[in-house]
Amino acid sequence: MVNPKVSTRPAICYRPIRPSDLEILERIHVNLFPIRYESTFFQDVVHGRDIVSWGAVDRNRPDGRSDELIGFVTARIVLARESEIVDMIGCDSSKADQTLVYILTLGVAETYRNLGIASSLIREVIKYSSSIPTCRAVYLHVIAYNNPAIYLYKKMAFKCIRRLQGFYLINGQHYDSYLFLYYVNGGRSPCSPVELLTAVINYVRRGFKSVTARLLYKNEDTKSTRSRWAKCKENHSLVTATHNKRNHAVQCTPSGSDYDCV
């Protein structure tokens, strides 16, 4: 287990990951993650092959290893139209160059946690993504049981937009994943707050009109029913009064919503 000594006053600095970081980068990944990454992944990270990265170091480490990684974040630029979240970013199909930044891995050595290092590394990714005019969002996956990571992303205003069943397969067992998203450069959900508010208002209006229509219909129906019953009673009284003379039977029989007097 990587267990660097923490100075009483750590001086955390951030820099790109370099080829000289290969061994420690692999070691920290093995110690922190249940998923095993292939060697090609680490080679791509340290040589910057389609992957951008930042490393954290403590310039005040008492053991003299002031340039050794104690934390890292790796990410990749992907085309928005080819991503799994294309439906969540209001992507303009006419702009084929729109991109996203996908965070691949994020980790901090155990003895250096709770110092704000992970938050600073994420901010580096957000700042980088914001500097790319075509980028619309930063997104990532986190395993469902990693509560500290989930809390961190929510605290940093990432939106949890989806739960993916059985996303991870670890030692023969499936685990769910949460998909988190952070918008940059005007990227937004297809339904903006204004659009959402408008939709809610229209929904309420339609509901109000529907209820009003029902009440009016019920009121008119009640009046009509009363009128028919009154007419029926009036005819019944007239017939009853002349029953002995005309020997005419009278009945009031409901038929649906109408009433016929025979």
Q: For 66-114, what is each residue's pLDDT tens digit?
A: 999 999 999 999 999 888 888 777 655 556 789 999 999 999 999 999 9
CB-facing half-sphere around the CA of 203: CA atoms within 13 A:
6
250 or 154, greater pLDDT: 154
pLDDT category, 251, cuts 50, 70, 90?
very low
**In the predicted structure, residue 63 carries a pLDDT above the cut 80:** yes
Confidence band for 8, pLDDT divided at 50, 70 and 90: confident
pLDDT mean over 246-252: 36
Residue 243 has pLDDT above 80, yes or no: no
State the pLDDT at residue 146.
95
User: 139-167, pLDDT tens digit by residue?
Assistant: 999 999 999 999 999 999 999 999 999 99
**In which order are the strands placed within the sheet that holds 135-143?**
12-15, 52-58, 69-79, 99-108, 135-143, 173-183, 159-170
pLDDT digits (tens, 9 = 90+) for 181-195: 999 988 877 655 554
pLDDT category of residue 5 using cuts at 50, 70 and 90: low
pTM value? Answer: 0.69
pLDDT of residue 226: 54
85: Cα separation from own chain's centroid = 10
End-to-end Cα spacing for the chain: 97
